[in-house]
């Protein structure tokens, strides 16, 4: 399988190289190797009543590891086919342990009609929020080592439909407020362009925003999709969703990223409601705040606070994300050093706390097991060298 993928990739690359001069094709590779040192402790808090009375029991285990990770290797090809038509492909290669992954992240054609109207067709990032569309998997462009957890790639545990195959209508710089819009219709959860859909359902995603001041983008996005019984969530952490239902996602974004100015800010709030036919509505939400300050042209210290809550409370889960209620808080403090636009080094210290809330197990009126909380605290030091050539 690996050989087939490599052969296909090599052929595609050779074909595209032969067209370099004919169609103004640009090919670039992005690499992002990483070194990380992780220490974590996992605590289980058990509490309940036994024949001997009330009890509280704590179990703690420690782990520590140092890891050299070669990260994603990303191949970008863009080409201007005509005055108005251009294409883009983004392909990632990754070997994690002994497994090898090859994935077409994006493959799209964009046709520019007017300043206020363009059409994209193919596989692309869904227009939710700022980060998802602004920063690709070529991490030279991304301000931090990793994406905020809610919009991570599926290979890194992400659960949202952060990209889809379909058609997008879009327009930018409308009126002096520089308003913009995106409307995408796509296959939806669980389908990435293969021909295995059995009905006419489509997912609709829309975004409206404005850039009233250069670099300041404010937007709101909404995604309406269905949850199909028996399908897994995008990253497969829920093997089969329990029943049919609907999924609504709303994202509010504010970003100030102006290369001429020193401060950088991105803040996004994502809330999702999963409505299942059998158990009713369940909700989850996540927010993150990124802030940076360019001390010089080359050095930018930054911080990222990221919170995720799957399930409304400690007792009610959202089966779209996880079988148990989960809460996670992550704080990253880092510094970015820009050797050039094609070579960037990022150094980060990360503190992460994840809580899983296990529920009482009862059969009829008999309680078989008590509820308990599993808490994992992780401290991580990471260095990433992101480059493009």
Partner 1 sequence: MLFVTLTAFAPAPTEIAVIVNKENTISKLSSGEVKLYWLRKIKKRWPDLNKNIKPADRKSKCAEQDAFYSKVLSMSASDVETYFTQKQYESAEKPQDKFASDADIINFVSEEAGAIGFVNAASLTAEAKTKVKVVLIVQ
- Site residues for partner 1 per CB under 8 A: 24, 26, 76, 78, 80, 83-84, 86-88, 90, 108-110, 112, 115, 133-134, 136, 138, 140-141, 173, 178, 259-260, 297, 338, 340-342, 388
Q: How far is the CB of 78 from partner 1 (least distance, A)?
A: 5
- Which residue, 75 or 356, has its beta carbon nearer to partner 1? 75
3-state DSSP assignment of residue 64: strand
Distance, in Å, from the CA atom of 174 to the CA atom of 182, rounded to the nearest integer, reads 12
Q: Is the dihedral of CA 352, 131, 156, 184 positive or negative?
A: positive
Q: How far is the CB of 259 from partner 1 (least distance, A)?
A: 4
3-state DSSP assignment of residue 229: coil
- Which residue, 89 or 317, has its beta carbon nearer to partner 1? 89
Q: How far is the CB of 173 from partner 1 (least distance, A)?
A: 5
Query: Quick one: which H or E segment has residue 12?
Result: helix 2-18
Q: How far is the CB of 171 from partner 1 (least distance, A)?
A: 11
Q: How far is the CB of 16 from partner 1 (least distance, A)?
A: 14
Token pair 């990380």 is found at 36
Q: Is the dihedral of CA 312, 41, 142, 101 positive or negative?
A: negative
Q: How far is the CB of 151 from partner 1 (least distance, A)?
A: 15
- Which residue, 337 or 349, has its beta carbon nearer to partner 1? 337
Query: Counting runs of H as helices and runs of E as strands, what totals does the chain give?
Result: 3, 20
Token pair 């890891």 is found at 67
- Which residue, 109 or 167, has its beta carbon nearer to partner 1? 109
Distance, in Å, from the CA atom of 269 to the CA atom of 307, rounded to the nearest integer, reads 10
Q: How far is the CB of 340 from partner 1 (least distance, A)?
A: 6
DSSP 8-state secondary structure symbol assigned to residue 22: H
- Which residue, 182 or 382, has its beta carbon nearer to partner 1? 182
- Which residue, 124 or 227, has its beta carbon nearer to partner 1? 124
- Which residue, 282 or 346, has its beta carbon nearer to partner 1? 346
Q: Is the dihedral of CA 337, 351, 130, 102 positive or negative?
A: positive
Tell me the two tokens of residue 191. Answer: 């389908």
Helices (H), 135-218: none
Distance, in Å, from the CA atom of 148 to the CA atom of 329, rounded to the nearest integer, reads 11
Nearest to 130 by CA among 182, 185, 71, 174: 182
Q: How far is the CB of 355 from partner 1 (least distance, A)?
A: 36
- Which residue, 99 or 341, has its beta carbon nearer to partner 1? 341
Distance, in Å, from the CA atom of 276 to the CA atom of 273, rounded to the nearest integer, reads 10
């Amino acid at each position: 399988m690996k050989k087939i993928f490599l052969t296909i990739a090599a052929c595609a690359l050779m074909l595209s190289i032969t067209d370099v001069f004919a169609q103004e094709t640009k090919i670039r590779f992005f690499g992002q190797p990483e070194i990380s040192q992780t220490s974590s402790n996992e605590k289980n808090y058990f509490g309940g009543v036994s024949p001997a009375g009330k009890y509280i029991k704590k179990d703690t285990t420690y782990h520590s590891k140092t890891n050299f990770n070669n990260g994603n290797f990303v191949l970008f090809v863009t080409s201007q086919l005509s005055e108005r038509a251009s294409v883009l492909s983004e392909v990632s290669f990754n070997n994690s342990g002994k497994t090898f992954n090859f994935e077409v992240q994006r493959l799209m054609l964009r046709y520019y009609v007017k300043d206020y109207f363009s059409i994209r067709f193919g596989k692309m990032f869904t227009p939710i929020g700022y980060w998802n569309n602004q920063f690709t998997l070529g991490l030279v462009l991304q301000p931090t080592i990793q994406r905020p957890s809610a919009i991570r790639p599926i290979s890194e545990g992400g659960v949202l439909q952060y990209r889809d195959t379909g058609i997008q209508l879009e327009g930018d710089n409308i009126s002096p407020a520089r308003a913009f819009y995106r409307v995408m219709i796509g296959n939806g959860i669980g389908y990435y362009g293969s021909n295995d859909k059995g009905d006419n359902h489509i997912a609709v995603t829309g975004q409206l925003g404005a850039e009233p001041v250069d670099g300041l983008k404010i937007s709101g996005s909404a995604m309406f999709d269905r949850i199909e019984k028996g399908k897994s969530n995008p990253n497969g952490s829920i093997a089969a969703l329990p029943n049919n239902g609907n999924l609504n996602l709303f994202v509010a974004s504010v970003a100030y990223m102006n290369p001429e100015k020193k401060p950088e800010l991105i803040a996004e709030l994502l809330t999702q409601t999963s409505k299942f036919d059998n158990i009713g509505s369940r909700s989850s939400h996540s927010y993150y705040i990124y802030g940076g300050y360019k001390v010089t042209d080359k050095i930018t210290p930054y911080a990222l606070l990221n919170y995720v809550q799957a399930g409304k409370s400690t007792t009610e889960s959202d089966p779209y994300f996880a079988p148990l209620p989960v809460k996670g808080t992550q704080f990253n403090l880092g510094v970015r050093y820009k050797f050039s636009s094609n070579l960037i080094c990022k150094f980060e210290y990360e503190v992460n706390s994840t809580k899983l809330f296990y529920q009482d197990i009862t059969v009829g009126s008999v309680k078989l097991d008590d509820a308990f909380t599993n808490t994992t605290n992780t401290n991580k030091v990471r260095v990433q060298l992101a480059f493009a050539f």
